[in-house]
A and B are shown apart, each in its own frame.
Chain A
Amino acid sequence: MKKAPWWIIGVMVGIVFLIIGFGREQFDDIYNKAIMICLECIGIG
Chain B
Amino acid sequence: MRRFTFARIRLFFQILYTIVTNGYAYGYLNGKIYKGSLKYACVPGLNCYSCPGAVGSCPIGALQAALNEHKIEVPFAVIGFLFVFGSLFGRFVCGWLCPFGLLQDLLHKIPLFKKRKQLPYHNVLKYGKYLVLIGLVIVGSSFLFGGFVKVPAFCKYLCPSGTFMGAIPLISANANLQMQVGGLFYWKLGVLITLIILSIKIYRPFCQYLCPLGAVYGLFNRFSLVQIRWTKEECTSCGACQRACPVNLPPEKISVSPECIKCGKCVDACPTDCLHFCKKTNNRQVKEIKR
Query: What residues of chain A have their CB less than 8 Å away from a CB belonging to chain B?
Result: 2-11, 13-22, 24, 26-31, 33-35, 37-45
Contact = CB atoms under 8 A, between A and B. Distances in A.
Nearest to B157: A40
Nearest to A16: B80
10 contacts: A5-B280, A10-B87, A11-B84, A17-B79, A26-B77, A33-B57, A34-B56, A34-B57, A44-B167, A44-B182
Contact of A35 (B33, B79, B182, B282): B33
B65 A29 contact: yes
Interface of B: 33-35, 37, 39-42, 48-50, 56-58, 61-62, 65-66, 69, 73, 75-88, 151-152, 155-156, 159, 162-163, 166-167, 170-171, 177, 180-182, 184-189, 220, 223-225, 280-283
B220 A17 contact: no
Contacts of A31: 37, 39-40, 57
A33 B163 CA distance: 17
Given A26-B76, A40-B156, A34 B61 contact: yes
B160 to A, nearest CB: 11
Question: Which 8 A-B residue pairs are closest in the complex by CB-CB distance?
Answer: A21-B77, A10-B87, A14-B83, A17-B80, A18-B80, A43-B185, A42-B167, A14-B84
Main secondary structure on A side of the interface with B: helix
A11 B226 CA distance: 13
Given A5-B223, A14-B85, A37-B177, 10 more contacts: A6-B87, A10-B84, A14-B80, A20-B77, A20-B80, A30-B41, A30-B65, A34-B39, A40-B155, A43-B184
A19 B220 CA distance: 21
Contact of A38 (B49, B83, B283): B49
B83 A33 contact: no
B158 to A, nearest CB: 11
Nearest to A17: B80
B88 A11 contact: yes
B181 to A, nearest CB: 7
Given A29-B65, A41-B162, A21 B76 contact: yes
A26 B66 contact: yes
A20 B187 CA distance: 38
B282 A21 contact: no
A41 to B, nearest CB: 4
Contact of A7 (B49, B58, B223): B223
B162 A42 contact: yes
